[in-house]
Amino acid sequence: MLIDDLFNSPLLLLLLPIIAFLYASVGHGGASGYIAVMSLFSFPISVMKPTALVLNILVSGISFYFYFREKKFDIKLFYPFAITSIPFSFLGGLLTVETHYYKVILASVLVVAVLRLIGIFGKEKPVLKPINIPLALLIGAVIGFLSGLIGIGGGIILSPVILLLGWANMKQTAAVSALFIFVNSIAGLFGFVSKGGTLPLSSTVVIGVVLIGGILGSYYGSKKFNTVTLRNVLAFVLGIAILKLYTT
């Protein structure tokens, strides 16, 4: 099937805004979800990676705006991760991973996403602690490199780490993750383009529907909003994608 036909699939155009809505509601851009769904439709990696990064930039930027407006953003929590993640994300974007290893890495990241969605981990600590700067710098570098390598923003990994270490509450974590994803996605996309990669024009058809989902998710997520049923549905879809990635 042609790439243009894949992007115009009604099911794809239905799933992508739902993913954007749910991810944006917790300050994420949704790249891991977009890539998971595109893998179900057998998109090539050369198309999945830049498309997910562009959608990530748009949705995470919108999400950050809403959380920032609600005064949930803490620059002191953000900058230690960003200092190392941005250059390492660019470096990861320069590299091309063999298809098999790409699928294994992506599937592993999606396992984290599913566990986060169904509430296995990623809960607030009752008592918050000051951020450990050296550890945050290391975490930023590792997540940034992985993000650029597979075409995600890294928020799906950063959020549970921040919450697990007790450095912020849920809303603060969402705000930091949104901007973290935004800058990493830009760096990763620059790395991808600088080595000759291009974004297929046909992918622009999904931008409109994803923006709608991102705006609604960001608005409701920055307020009080519970999407347990929808998150369970998304976890199921991602679970199918994980099985396909591990078995093909």
What is the per-residue pLDDT across 66-80, written as a single tens digit (0 to 9) for each? 889 888 899 999 999
**So what's the pLDDT on residue 8?**
79
Q: List CB contacts of 243: < 8 A, sequence separation 6 or more.
A: none
Residue 156 CA to residue 153 CA, distance in Å, equals 8
Q: Residue 99 domain-assigned? A: yes
Task: Tell whether the model's pLDDT for residue 218 goes beyond 80.
Answer: yes
Domain assignment present for residue 1? The answer is no
Q: Is 186 helix (H, G, I), strand (E, B) or coil?
A: helix
Q: Is the pLDDT of residue 24 over 90?
A: no
Query: And the tokens for 101?
Result: 């290893």
Quick check: 217 and 17 in contact, CB under 8 A?
A: no
- Asked if residue 125 belongs to a domain, the reply is yes
Domain assignment present for 151:
yes
C-alpha–C-alpha distance, residues 32 and 157, integer Å = 10
Measure the CA–CA gap between 71 and 62, rounded to whole angstroms.
15
Nearest CA to 150 out of 236, 61, 46, 26 is that of 46
The half-sphere exposure of 126 on its side-chain side, counting CA atoms within 13 A, is 0
133-172: pLDDT as tens digits: 999 999 999 999 988 888 888 888 888 889 888 898 888 8
At 2 the pLDDT is 62
Structural domain includes residue 204: yes
Number of domains in the chain: 1
Is 75 within a domain?
yes
pLDDT(227) > 70 = no
Whether residue 47 is contained in a domain is answered as yes
Expressed as residue numbers, the domain containing 201 is 8-247
37 located within any domain = yes
| pLDDT for the residue 79 | 93
The Cα–Cα gap between 248 and 160 comes to: 29
